[in-house]
Amino acid sequence: MMYELCQQFGLAELRTSSLQEEQERELSPETEQETQVERPPPAQPARHSLHADVRKFVRSGVFTRSTTAFQPAFATLQLTSAAKHFDVREFQNNVWVTRDFSKVVEESFGSENYSDGFQRSVQWILTSKDEVLKERLLVISPYEAQKLLPDVEKFQHVSLRLYSPWVNLGFESLDHLNLYTVPQAQNCSAIPRNLITPLNVFSGQLYLSDYRDYIHLCDFLGLAWKAADGTVGFGPDGWIPPTLPTNICVNISGLSKSPVPFLKILFAKIRQECQSIRKTHMGKILEGVRLHVEDWAES
């Protein structure tokens, strides 16, 4: 009926599909979509504590790996919903956290009770010259940073550094770790970018400073950062199979399978509380989009 009327008035080029869409909009009320963030259930906050081995590290610069005071950062994500898709123990142990940092609430988590809503943001980092050479950083809680500040200033075996993941282009990146340091005389020139990369991934950083950081990230995650010829078969997310017989792209990550499904949940759901990351560097990478030098031309 509507189409015949349009023909009478000379609107022969009007497509039937467009008419149908217009009629549907008239007959159906418009609906507004609003993102619903699932808040974690109430829980008892954990009591803060400063482990003796953490203080020992500050006073001597010696990192005691065998102690229960420290654990690999990615291991703290083992009881999240993201860990269903990937064994977090496969990640390199470059970034460590203290027990006080990882213990947020007095709660037992399991297969049906995930710790997604109880992940502390990364803000304070301890480094020592020896540990940087061993490619290791230590993330601590704000409570520990406050308690340890006098010892950091007194013994000067470690540096306390302020950090925040880069999630907004309106601000500058802080992953150089030089914005605020104690003691001020120590700088971050010795810290390699391939040590900063796992820190950024763990904390949920959405943007990369330049193309070199992009290469470091892809190498760390086992993703392709350059185009391949027709004989090479990558995964739809850019994953390079470890057994791929080619010299064009080699997987040097040490991971057995793609971490992308895990990272999508970590970045979007856990770190960004279900906010869209589609237009960010990480959002594009996790959708299998290969970035180019030109993507930083306007940065």
Helix (H) or strand (E) holding 61: none
Structure tokens at 208: 């990369």
Of the listed ranges 22-36, 116-130, 135-149, 190-204, the least confidently predicted one is 22-36
Mean pLDDT of the region 173-186: 88
- Rounded distance between C-alpha atoms, residue 285 and residue 278, angstroms: 9
Q: Is residue 23 part of a domain?
A: no
The percentage of residues in the chain with a pLDDT greater than 90, rounded to a whole number, is 63
Q: Are 174 and 136 contained in the same domain?
A: yes
Q: Is residue 33 part of a domain?
A: no
Q: Are 57 and 135 contained in the same domain?
A: yes
Q: Is residue 18 part of a domain?
A: no
Compare 124 and 32 and report the one with higher pLDDT.
124
- Rounded distance between C-alpha atoms, residue 277 and residue 295, angstroms: 16
- Rounded distance between C-alpha atoms, residue 289 and residue 132, angstroms: 32
137-140 and 124-127: which strand pairing? antiparallel
User: Per the structure, how many domains does the chain have?
Assistant: 2
Compare 200 and 233 and report the one with higher pLDDT.
200
Contact 87, 75 (CB under 8 A): no
For 85, which DSSP code? G
* pLDDT over 50 (residue 21): no
* pLDDT over 80 (residue 94): yes
Q: Please give the model's pTM, rounded to 2 decimal places.
A: 0.84
Q: Is residue 6 part of a domain?
A: no
Q: Is residue 32 part of a domain?
A: no
Read off the amino acid at residue 89: R
* pLDDT over 60 (residue 100): yes
* pLDDT over 50 (residue 162): yes
Range of the domain at 87: 52-192
Compare 183 and 189 and report the one with higher pLDDT.
183
Structure tokens at 151: 């010892």
Mean pLDDT of the region 272-292: 94
* pLDDT tens-place string over residues 235-259: 899 999 988 766 677 899 999 999 9
* pLDDT tens-place string over residues 63-73: 988 899 999 99
Q: Are 160 and 288 contained in the same domain?
A: no
- Rounded distance between C-alpha atoms, residue 83 and residue 75, angstroms: 10
Contact 188, 181 (CB under 8 A): yes
Q: List the beta strands (DSSP E) in 47-165.
A: 70-72, 95-98, 124-127, 137-140, 159-162
Q: Are 172 and 277 contained in the same domain?
A: no
Helix (H) or strand (E) holding 124: strand 124-127
